[in-house]
Amino acid sequence: MAEVINVTGIILSSMPVGESDRRIVILTKELGKISAFAKGARRPNSSLIGLTRPFIFADFEVYRGRNSYTIYKAVAKEYFEKLVTDLDAVCYGYYFAEIADYYSRENLEAKELINLLYVSLKALLKEQIPNALIRYIYELRMIAINGECPDFFSCRKCGKEDNLLFYAKDLNGVVCGDCITESFASVRLSKDALYTLQYIVTSPLNKLYTFTLNDETFRIIASVINRLEDICFDKKFKSKDMLLEEIL
């Protein structure tokens, strides 16, 4: 028998295969994104039944095949049951999982990605801040983790750290009042909006979802992050269509 490997991860997606199996995609801390077969998982007497749906956070025992892994055992650490019973929250959850799938790679350590996904799903459950705000925080922090985030602390043109009044999509960065020109497609930033962008990319994960915004600041943040997505995301996320009512 092949060597058993122990991994901890969150299931990003799951689909039936054949009469009784499932093929799942797991974001793991140790191996990055892996595809794994759960043989017999759809049978009523299977030890894996109930452990192969999206959002399950678990310790898995897997063994490696030629092109994929096979799950030998799974012990759930978090089911996120309330998430899957809330239609609005689960739509966001699927979107978050799709972004995590987009950024993750096999054999590339994914501790930061999995921790961000975990606390973001938890935030959806707590209902302390609007789901739409959780979405924008998650998107920006994910972009930052992957090294694609602009510097929100200094002017993209001159390097100064004060009077930062605009986000310029053409430059993918913030620009001070002295450097902005009409040729830049820009979003004017309030002090609160600039501070929020800076906070999202630098705060500890346990502090990431601890604030709310007034309507004006939220609109500015949404406008900046939507433009940043146009630069960083080179695919259309199918699950995003379910969030159209929240997109500004």
pLDDT tens column, 56-71: 999 999 998 877 899 9
3-state secondary structure 52-84: CCCCCEEEEEEEECCCCEEEEEEEEEECCHHHH
Closest CA to 171 of 217, 231, 229, 221: 231
Residues 163 and 181 in one domain: yes
What pLDDT is recorded for position 70? 94
* Window from 66-70, 130-134, 148-152 with minimum mean pLDDT: 66-70
Residues 67 and 172 in one domain: no
Residues 158-163 have a mean pLDDT of 95
Q: Which domain holds residue 194?
A: 86-156+158-246
Whichever domain contains 19, its CATH number is 2.40.50.140
Sign of CA dihedral 202, 120, 35, 13: negative
Q: Which of 63, 79, 95 is the last residue of a domain?
A: 79
Rounded to whole angstroms, what are the CA distances from 157 to 149, 170, 230? 16, 12, 21
pLDDT per residue over 84-130, tens digit each?
999 999 999 999 999 999 999 988 889 999 999 999 999 999 988 99
SS3 for 187? strand
Residue 202 near residue 149 (C-beta atoms within 8 A): no
Q: What percent of the chain has pLDDT over 90?
A: 85
**Which DSSP string corresponds to 118-171?**
HHHHHHHHH-SS-HHHHHHHHHHHHHHHTT----SSS-TTT---S-EEEEETTT
pTM across the whole model:
0.94
Q: If pLDDT is split at 50, 70 and 90, which confidence band does 248 have?
A: very low
Q: Which of 47, 79, 111 is the last residue of a domain?
A: 79
Residues 75 and 92 in one domain: no
Residues 24 and 139 in one domain: no
pLDDT per residue over 178-232, tens digit each?
998 876 778 999 999 999 999 999 999 999 999 999 999 999 999 999 999 999 9
Query: Measured between alpha carbons, how far is 147 from 117 in angstroms, rounded to an integer?
Result: 17
User: Count of domains in the chain?
Assistant: 2
